[in-house]
Every structure is written in structure tokens, then in C-alpha cells.
Structure 1
Amino acid sequence: MLKFIGSGSAFHTARGNTSAFVKTNNSLLLIDSGGTVFHRLQELNLFDGLEHLYIVITHTHPDHVGSLGEVIFYSYYILNHRPTIFFPRKELLEVFLTSIGVTPDMYHLNSNDRISINDKNIGDFRIIFIPVSHVDTIPAYGFTIELGGQVFYYSGDSNDISNTIIEKLKSGQIYSIYQDTCGLDYEGNNHLSLRRLCDIIPKELREKVFCMHLDKHITENEIYEHGFHVVEHVINNSF
């Protein structure tokens, strides 16, 4: 299971920017690095003793990359380590990082759609990036991650779930889904409303869906009442 240091939408600051992680000994796999993430990484002492840092980026909206520069700077200057970043659009991320003063010698960038890593602490993990429907202005990706013998789907920001992912959830090929879910429900929404999530996920599968990236127009009780889960925040460094 992924652990979360934030689960809010861009404007739901009380929940913090949505970001998940896996940490084993001195290795950290981080998913997205929005504006509030660096601060939370410090609060939770997730940098302590860190020797291997991997960062998965789903897209380049500020609530997903707003503190990416700080994370890279801290890793490079304080930890004396170059983090590895996973994102399929190499030039887009390089231009963004260069524009905020992060030079290519400070990080490694893996822009493959399919990634296989063997980390001495985390073990083997495999990531497959999947283009998702979010906005027209920038590319956005979800991904499947195989970790600890199980496969999870992480939507990033998306207003839909593909039939392929649903079928794999039904067949057991995917263990659980982490899905961008909101209360606002209108035509052209860039995020997936709870109503539409209910239309997409059969009742017997809802216990396998964890809602994240929540806006101010939805409550945890509403989500639980429909049979889904809400991702839980790590509140201290006891993980």
C-alpha cells in the first residue's frame, strides 16, 4: 500500500497537495512533488539518511511539481545525491526545471514509458505510464506500479478510468486503484466526480478504490457511504 503525505486538490490546502510515497530504509519512492510537499517531507523526516530518491511525476501542474525544484536542490546540495525522476516527456520536464534554475547535472531523468528498477531496499518495482484525460494544455499520465508482488493503478489527475484498468481490477490483475475524485460534477470537469466514479466502479469492487485529490465539495463520509475508501495521511515518521 502507498502512504500519503497529502490528498487535496490544488485549492484544498487543508489536505495538502496530493503526494504518495514508499520508503524502505534509506530509499524513497515519491509520487509527485507539489508546492506543499517539500515542507511535509521535512516535517516527516523523510530525508533523514536518504541515499536513493526516485520521483514519479504525473504532470506539470503546480500542485504536482511546485516544490520539485526544492526537492532536487536539497537532494543535490544537502544529501549529495542526484535523484532519479520518471516522466515520459523529457523535453517538457527539462525546460521546466531549467526555467527554475535546476541544471541537468543535478538529477537523472528517465523518460521511458516502461520502467523497471531494482533498488536494494525497496526491491523490484515496475512502472508503466498511461496517458490520461485531464486537460488539453499539457500531457498528463496515470501509471500502474508493480511493487511487493502486487500491481496498483495511480490515476494522477484524470476525469476518467479506462476500461482496460477496470477489467484488470475485475480480473485481479490490479490489486487496487488510487483515483482522483471530486465533489464538483459538471460537463467538461477535468477531474472525476464521485457520481461518475459510482457509475464506473461496480459496488462489489469499490472496496478496492482509494479516493485522493479531494476538493472542498466532497466529504469523507460521502465517499465511505458509496463503498470507497479515502487515502490516509501519514501524521508522523512512524512508517
Structure 2
Amino acid sequence: MLNFIGIGSAFNTEIGNTSAFIRKDSSLILIDCGGTVFHRLQELNLFNRIENLYIIITHTHPDHVGSLGEVIFYSYYILKRIPIIFFPKKEVIEGFLISIGVSSEMYRLNSFEVIDVNDMELGKLGIEFLPVSHVDTIPAYGFIMKLNEKSFYYSGDANNISSNVINKIVNGEIYRIYQDTCGLDYEGNNHLSLRKLCSIIPPKFRNKVYCMHIDKHITEKEIQDNGFNVVEIYK
């Protein structure tokens, strides 16, 4: 189960940039690292006693990597730990990090699309990156994570859900979908509108969908009235 640091879209900063984490003892998995995230990590004391830091990046828009440099610097200089970054496009993430002054010795990069990790605290962890439809200018990914024999799908920013993921939720291969959901609904939208989400997910399976990356044009009640869940902010 994921804990969410923030659940907002890029412009809905009152509820923080969307980012989630899993922590067990001295190991921390962080999903995305937007501009508001480093501040919240410190507020929540999530760096305390961390020895193993894994960072999953879905794409390089500012609300998903805006404070990635700060997290790497803090890990390297203060925690004295080298974080491991997971992102399939090596040249994209390396180019971004070079441009903000992060040198290669400060982090390790795993750019495989299918990743297996065996962490002493977290156990066996599997990540399968899946390309998603978001924007034409940069690559964007969702992923399926398997942890402790249970799998979930995390969309990142995406304006659709693949039939492959839908089939997996229907046949029980994954137990939950975390989906970018917005109120704005127009042709060419880079995010998934609630109307479109309703057309994709049969009512029987909507209780397995947890909406995130919420914009200011939708309310939690609208989402819940349609049978979906809204992720909660960790406090």
C-alpha cells in the first residue's frame, strides 16, 4: 500500500505535487519528486535513519522532478547514502541531472524497463515500466509494482489506461490502480478526465481504482459518487 506525500496536479499545489512512498525500517521507496516534495519529506521526517533510498521517476515534468536534485544532494551529503534511481530512458534523466549540477557519483541509475530488487527490509520488489500516453515532448511511464506477492499499477501522468492493465485488474493479477484523474475534459487532454475514466472502468471494478493528481476542477465527492476512491495524504 502506498502512502501519499501529495495528491495534486501541477497547478493544484495546495494539496502538494503528487508523490508516494513505501517505507520499512531503514529502506524508503519514493515515487516522483516534484517541487513540493523535498520540503514535505523533511516535515514528515521520512529521511530519519534511512540507509537505502530508491527513487522511481515516471517522467521529467517539474511537478515530478522539481526537487529531485535536492533529494539526491541531501542523501549524498547529509545521509551519506547514494540513492538508486529507476527510469527507463538513461539519456533523459542523466541529461536533466547534469543540467542541475548533480554529478554521476551522487547516484546510481537503473534504466531497465523490468527491474528486480531484493532489499533486506522491503523484501523482493519487482517493477515493470509501461509507456503511457501523456505528452509528445518527453517519454512518460506508468509501472506495475510487485511487492510481497501483491501487484498494483501506478499511472504516473497519463490520459488513458491500457487494455493490458484493465485486463489485469479484471482477472485479479493486480489488486489496485492508482490513476491520474482530472475534472477538465477536452479533446487532446494530457490527463485522464473523470468522464473518460468512467467509460474505461466497469462499475464492478471501480472500488479498485484510487484517483490521484487531482486538479481544481473536480471534487472528491464527484470521484466517490462515481464509485472510485481518492488517495489520502499521509500525515
**Is the TM value for this pair above 0.5?**
yes
Structure-2 residue corresponding to 1:122: 122
State how 1:180-195 maps to structure 2 within 5 Å: 180-195=180-195
Q: Which residue is equivalent to 2:110?
A: 110
Q: Deviations over 1:162-194 (max 9, x none)?
A: 001001100000111000000000000000000
Equivalences for residues 1-150 of structure 1 within 5 A = 1-150=1-150
Measure how far apart 1:25 and its partner are. 0.3
Structure 1 segment 144-163 matched on structure 2, within 5 A:
144-163=144-163
Percent identity of paired positions between Structure 1 and Structure 2: 67
Give the ranges of 4+ consecutive aligned residues of structure 1 lying more than 6 Å apart after TM superposition: none
DSSP 3-state at the match of 1:224 = helix
The alignment yields a C-alpha RMSD, in angstroms, of 0.4
Q: Secondary structure at the match of 1:153?
A: strand
* Cα displacement string for residues 77-131 of structure 1 (whole angstroms, at most 9, x for unaligned residues): 0000100000000011001001100000000000000000000111111000000
- Aligned-partner SS, 1:96: helix
Cα distance in 2 between the residues matched to 1:6 and 1:28: 16
Distance across 2 between alignment mates of 1:151 and 1:48: 27
Q: Give the TM-score of the pair, scaled to structure 2.
A: 1.00
Q: Tell me how far 1:149 sits from its aligned partner.
A: 1.5
Give the AA of the match of 1:96. F
**In 1, distance between residues paired with 2:147 and 2:26?**
17
C-alpha displacement of 1:152: 0.2
Structure 1 residues not aligned, in runs of 5+ = none
Hey, what's the Cα distance between the residues in 2 that align with 1:231 and 1:124?
Answer: 25
- What is the rounded CA distance, in whole Å, between the counterparts of 2:193 and 2:3 in structure 1? 23
Distance in 1 (CA, whole Å) between partners of 2:87 and 2:159 is: 20
User: Once the 2 structures are TM-superposed, how far is the Cα of residue 148 of structure 1 from its aligned partner?
Assistant: 1.9
